[in-house]
Every structure is written in structure tokens, then in C-alpha cells.
Amino acid sequence: MSYETILVEQRGAVTLITLNRPKALNALNSQVLDELIDAFAAYEGDDGQRCAVLTGSGDKAFAAGADIKEMYDKAAADFYLEDFFSKWTSQIVKTTRKPWIAAVNGFALGGGCELAMMADFIIASDNAKFGQPEIKLGVAPGMGGSQRLTRAVGKSKSMDMCLTGRMMDAEEAERSGLVARVVPLTELIDEAVKAAAAIASMPPMAVQVNKEMVNAAFETMLDQGLLHERRLFQILTATEDKKEGMAAFIEKREGNWKGR
Ligand code: HXC
């Protein structure tokens, strides 16, 4: 597939994908989405590629959001029937088991912030600005912002961002745990590619497993986590050691463990 809205290049084992609609501040329209899905699938399927970096062209924006001009004329039924935005999560986040980093240069607003938060981690330039300004358009985040931002920075700051629509600068984003590192804009791509190359040099399966584990901590709902914990606890109560341990307590002696 040849691309019109993104650029893709390989630097050793690192795939660098650049959103490339600088005149629209890299706003995310359907074509960008389709091309990104294709580029991520190609990256995932290429055994020689071990880590990817996603950035925006120009020094002003990573992405200023979903394309407002594309959304303006759509009716609610269109959004619903197309299940608008669902492809982002199902085809980029869920099917990309290999790691990728968002290198955020400038504005990451609305869908741009949400896209950056889909990455395994974010490296931001010192001029980066994050925000979920959808409320100012009479809507709300639709690509995971209310969920991922809240998990990343906590309820209070997420409410502040979503309800006021204000922007957070790079320093605040790092302090809040939204981004992993902040670097000067001129060094952003080099630093992100360097980090990606370090990951690319690690044992590939261990990389995938580590990614999966951290995502499990991030993605499991508290209710599910508590249920999981409770069921495992209940399984343990069927062991001989449970009987022995409780008996040892009551009989005021040390336990004699069987390991089962
Ligand atoms: C379409 C966009 C755009 C966007 C910017 N542009 N953001 N086009 N969709 N999200 C276009 C502008 O129309 C303009 O095009 C060009 O990019 C340059 O933008 P300016 O506004 O002139 O730049 P500047 O004055 O520097 O302001 C930068 C900005 C502002 C603060 C980032 O552009 C802005 O507020 N953009 C919208 C941010 C936003 O609301 N994002 C959330 C979108 S909703 P022309 O042709 O005039 O030069 C979303 C999810 C919604 O992401 C979910 C709903 C279900």
C-alpha cells in the first residue's frame, strides 16, 4: 500500500512512522487511520522490525485531534453504525503485540492525545502540549481518552483536563506520569529511535511478555482484578498447606509445608 498521509521508514530494526498532514496539524481522518492500520500490520509482520516510533511531521503537532471537518457533517447514526473510532483500538492497540513508542512533538489534543496514550509509552518534546478539549466541541473523548488518561494521571487531573479542556505542558505531563521522558524538540526523534533501538536489542519474546504484563496491570478493571484475586485465593483454600497452616496457628506451632 502506498501512503498519502503518513511516512514510513526503517532505521535498522526500528520502524519510524510519521503522521504527515502538517497543514491540518496532522489531524486524524479516516485515511490516516486506514494507512496507520496498514503500517502497523506491516511492522507487526516484519520479523526484522522490533520496535516502532510514531511521531508527527513538523514541529508544531503530533496530532491536533480527530479531523473535526470530517466529523462535522456526520449524524449520530453514522458514528454508531460505523462504530466510529473502534478500529483504532481493535486493529492497532490489540493486534500490535510488538512495542511502539509515541514521540510527541507539539500538540497532542483529543484523538491525538488518545493515540499517543495507545502507545506503550510516550516520549515528549519540551514544547509538547496534551489535552482532551472535546468538551469545547460539545462532545467528549471517543478513542479511550477518558479511560486511559484517568488511569495514567488519576481521577482529579483527568477530570480537570476533560471538564475544562485545558492543555497540559510537557513538564506537567511528565510530573503526572502521562509521559516517560521529556527531551528537547531537536533531539526528539533521535532519543525516541535510540530508546526503540535499545528495546529492539532485547530478547523479542521477553519484550512481548513484559509488554503484556504491564498492559494487564493497566487494563484489568479493579473489579476483574479483585475477582481474579478472590478466585485464586479460593483455589488456595483447597490445598493441604491451607489446612496445615491454619492448624499450625491454632496449635501454636510452626507449619510443615507440602507445597500443594
Ligand atoms: C481538522 C484541524 C484540526 C482538527 C487543526 N486543524 N486541528 N483540522 N481537525 N482537529 C486545522 C485548522 O483548521 C487549520 O486549518 C490548521 O489545522 C492550522 O490550525 P490553526 O487552528 O490555524 O492553528 P493554531 O491557531 O496554531 O491553533 C492550534 C490548535 C487549534 C490550538 C491546535 O488548531 C485547535 O484547537 N485545534 C482543534 C483541537 C481539538 O479540538 N481537537 C479535538 C478534536 S475532537 P486551515 O485550513 O484553517 O489552515 C477529537 C475526538 C472527538 O479528537 C470525539 C468525538 C466523538
Q: Over the stretch 113-154, which tens digit does the pLDDT of each residue have?
A: 999 999 999 999 999 999 999 999 998 898 989 989 999 999
> pLDDT, tens digit, for every residue of 203-245?
988 999 889 888 888 887 767 756 656 676 677 778 888 788 8
Antiparallel, parallel or unpaired: β 61-63 and 14-19: unpaired
Of 143, 131, 146, 106, nearest in space to 18 by CA? 106
Among protein residues, the one with the nearest Cα to ligand 1's atom 11 is 24
Structure confidence at residue 237 (pLDDT): 78
Q: Is 139 in the pocket of ligand 1 (CB under 6 A)?
A: yes
Please, which residues have CB within 8 angstroms of residue 25's CB and are 6 or more apart in sequence? 58, 60, 61, 63, 64, 106, 107
CATH of 204-251, one of 1.10.12, 1.10.3470, 1.20.58, 2.60.40: 1.10.12
* Pocket probe mutation, ligand 1, options 68, 118, 137, max atoms within 8 Å of Cβ: 68
Is 6-201's fold the same as 204-251's?
no
What mean pLDDT do residues 165-179 have? 98
Structure confidence at residue 31 (pLDDT): 95
For the entire predicted model, the pTM comes to 0.88
Please, which residues bridge with residue 51 across strands? 14
ipTM confidence score: 0.98
How far is 125 from 135, CA to CA, in rounded Å? Answer: 25
In the three-class reduction of DSSP (H, G, I as helix; E, B as strand; rest coil), residue 95 is classed as: coil
How far is 204 from 183, CA to CA, in rounded Å? Answer: 27
CB 8 within 8 A of CB 55: no
Q: Is 24 in the pocket of ligand 1 (CB under 6 A)?
A: yes
pLDDT at 35 > cutoff 60: yes
Task: State in words which class domain 6-201 has.
Answer: alpha beta
Please, which residues bridge with residue 82 across strands? none
> pLDDT, tens digit, for every residue of 55-94?
999 999 999 999 999 999 888 888 888 888 888 877 888 7
Structure confidence at residue 229 (pLDDT): 60
Burial class (CB in 10 A: 0-12, 13-18, 19+), 197: middle
Structure confidence at residue 77 (pLDDT): 87
In the three-class reduction of DSSP (H, G, I as helix; E, B as strand; rest coil), residue 80 is classed as: helix
Structure confidence at residue 145 (pLDDT): 92
Structure confidence at residue 84 (pLDDT): 84
Could you give the count of Cα atoms lying within 13 Å of 200 in the half-sphere of its Cβ? 25
Active-site residue, from 39, 52, 61, 66: 66
Look at the block and give the residue holding cell 471517543: 142
Confidence of residue 164 (pLDDT cuts 50, 70, 90): very high
Structure confidence at residue 259 (pLDDT): 82
Domain ranges of the chain: 6-201, 204-251
What mean pLDDT do residues 96-102 have? 96
Q: Does 52 participate in catalysis according to the annotation? A: no
Q: Is 41 in the pocket of ligand 1 (CB under 6 A)?
A: no
Among protein residues, the one with the nearest Cα to ligand 1's atom 37 is 64
CB 28 within 8 A of CB 55: no
Q: Which of 20-34, 166-180, 189-203, 236-250 has the lowest mean pLDDT?
A: 236-250
CB 55 within 8 A of CB 19: yes
Instruction: Tell me the average pLDDT of the chain.
Output: 92
